[in-house]
Amino acid sequence: MQSSLRIRKITKGIVVTIGLLFFIVILLFPFYWMFITSIKPDSELYDMAQPPMQLLKPTLEHYVYLIENTRFLLWLKNSALVATVSTAASIVIGTLAAYSLARLRFRGSRTLGLTIFITYLVPTTLIFLPLAYVIRSLGLFDKQVALMITYPTFLIPFCTWLLMGYFKGIPKELEESAMVDGATRLQALRMVILPIMMPGIISAALFAFTLSWNEFVYALTLAQTEAIKTLPVAIVSQLVLADVYFWGSLMAAALLGSVPIAILYSFFLEYYVKGMTAGAVKG
């Protein structure tokens, strides 16, 4: 009895380990291969006789090429600027909306909440074409500000929905007692509720920043001039030149473009997983 239980436990351990290894290999191998490619000299990269996993002389030449001969740093700055502005704007607007929808009673608040939730489901690819048309008629086409005002269209619904969940988890008595002491609702929100909300706001901001950093379709259609492009679009359109691929630098660019997100994410992993699962579990 005892030993059969132990055997079952060991078998389970082995199965779980194999499963874990399986997922680690298939999900992470592409990154590993991108990294190896980015530090391999061209002579080894295109030598079919050499075993592909072998690396004789690691080099940083592809990274140097990227920084010195392309406008990588400019695109990086563009991405950071667009993502920061649109995230900040969306967090402010989304927090106010979420507070109102989660806490205040007024006619049509439920319908409004559901409508905002529906826009959260709208894929950007459904809207990008007429959006480009509208942006053009507003005279903002091919300007960076076009991205800063269009990104909130998918960030605000997301932040609002996520933060509504957090607001609902904070007891009403907290702000009511502040209001008994003479504070207005907005004062109570600022002094009492927002400090407690910080974890929620951080996860919302983190998500929003990631979403803006990774956005592709709007950036591809709304920002055509090379100097204002964001990183993902610039790498795909400016570095992939016709049929000549510089795979080493290309992989270096793809990795460097992902690094800011990965760093941010490793610092705030707890918030990230919590935010993601809150979104998923609450719907």
Q: What's the rounded Cα separation, in Å, for the pair 33 and 86? A: 33
Vertex 126: Cα angle to 277 and 215 (nearest 5): 55
Cβ pair 120, 161 in contact under 8 A: yes
> How many CA atoms does the CB half-sphere of 125 hold within 13 Å?
1
- Kindly identify the residues of this chain, within the stretch 6-35, that bind another protein according to CB under 8 A: 12, 16, 19-20, 23-24, 26-28, 30-31, 33-34
> From the CB of 45, what's the least distance to another protein, in Å?
8
- Kindly identify the residues of this chain, within the stretch 53-92, that bind another protein according to CB under 8 A: none
Of 228 and 229, nearer to another protein (C-beta) is 229
Closest CA to 264 of 220, 217, 206, 193: 206
Closest CA to 254 of 36, 57, 25, 47: 36
Q: Which one among 121, 173, 195, 225 touches another protein, defined by CB under 8 A?
A: 121
Of 70 and 124, nearer to another protein (C-beta) is 124
> From the CB of 203, what's the least distance to another protein, in Å?
13
- Kindly identify the residues of this chain, within the stretch 204-223, that bind another protein according to CB under 8 A: 210, 213-214, 216-217, 220-221
Q: Is 93 in the site for another protein (CB under 8 A)?
A: yes
- Kindly identify the residues of this chain, within the stretch 221-280, that bind another protein according to CB under 8 A: 221, 231-233, 235-236, 240, 245, 247, 250-251, 253-255, 257-258, 261-262, 265-266, 269-270, 272-273, 276-277, 280
Burial of 186 (C-beta count, 10 Å sphere; 0-12/13-18/19+): exposed
Q: Which one among 52, 172, 177, 181 touches another protein, defined by CB under 8 A?
A: 52
- Site size with another protein, rule: CB under 8 A: 96
Q: What's the rounded Cα separation, in Å, for the pair 89 and 209? A: 11
> From the CB of 277, what's the least distance to another protein, in Å?
3
Cβ pair 74, 264 in contact under 8 A: no
> From the CB of 60, what's the least distance to another protein, in Å?
19
Burial of 167 (C-beta count, 10 Å sphere; 0-12/13-18/19+): buried
Site string for another protein, 126-155 (x = CB under 8 A): xxxxxxxxx--------------xx-xx--
> From the CB of 29, what's the least distance to another protein, in Å?
9
Q: Which one among 118, 180, 227, 241 touches another protein, defined by CB under 8 A?
A: 118
Q: What is the DSSP letter of 223?
A: -
Cβ pair 172, 102 in contact under 8 A: no
Token couple for 177: 């007692």
